[in-house]
Amino acid sequence: MSTVTALGFDYGERRIGVAVGQSLTRTAEALVTLPVRHGQVDWPAIARLIDTWRPQQLVVGLPGTDDGQPPANADAIARFARRLNGRFKLPVAFVDERLSSYAASEDPDTRRVGLDAVAARLILETWLAGC
């Protein structure tokens, strides 16, 4: 099996955390937190990240709920994932990101790149663990 490079996203209505990782070591690195302004995703910034890292896979966190119901922002996350796929023609996988922000708040890397980027790293590492 060849090595897969992936970008992970922690989507939020105000910020999107981004991380990069690869399947050989099953590790990821928090990259950046992108602002969402007036509901508009910074697509040029995401395009630059995709041009830089050349991923074969995109991974988006989708928070699970204890009662099995979709989270309140499930439609917005699904729309973001569809737009990622449509714009960049790359496959998009979803990962249950329950408690990723809580875990990220305890991570020392949070001070450097922000909570959302660290949460994206944790989401991506969850996906990579299944590779």
Mean confidence (pLDDT) of the chain: 89
| Of 16, 23, 45, nearest in space to 124 by CA | 23
pLDDT for 90 beyond 90: yes
- Quote the CA–CA distance of 25 and 77 in Å, as a whole number: 28
Q: How confident is the model at residue 12 (pLDDT cuts 50, 70, 90)?
A: very high
pLDDT value for 65: 67
Angstrom distance (rounded) from CA 123 to CA 34: 16
CA-to-CA dists, residue 120 to 1, 82, 110, angstroms: 25, 18, 11
pTM (2 d.p.)? 0.89
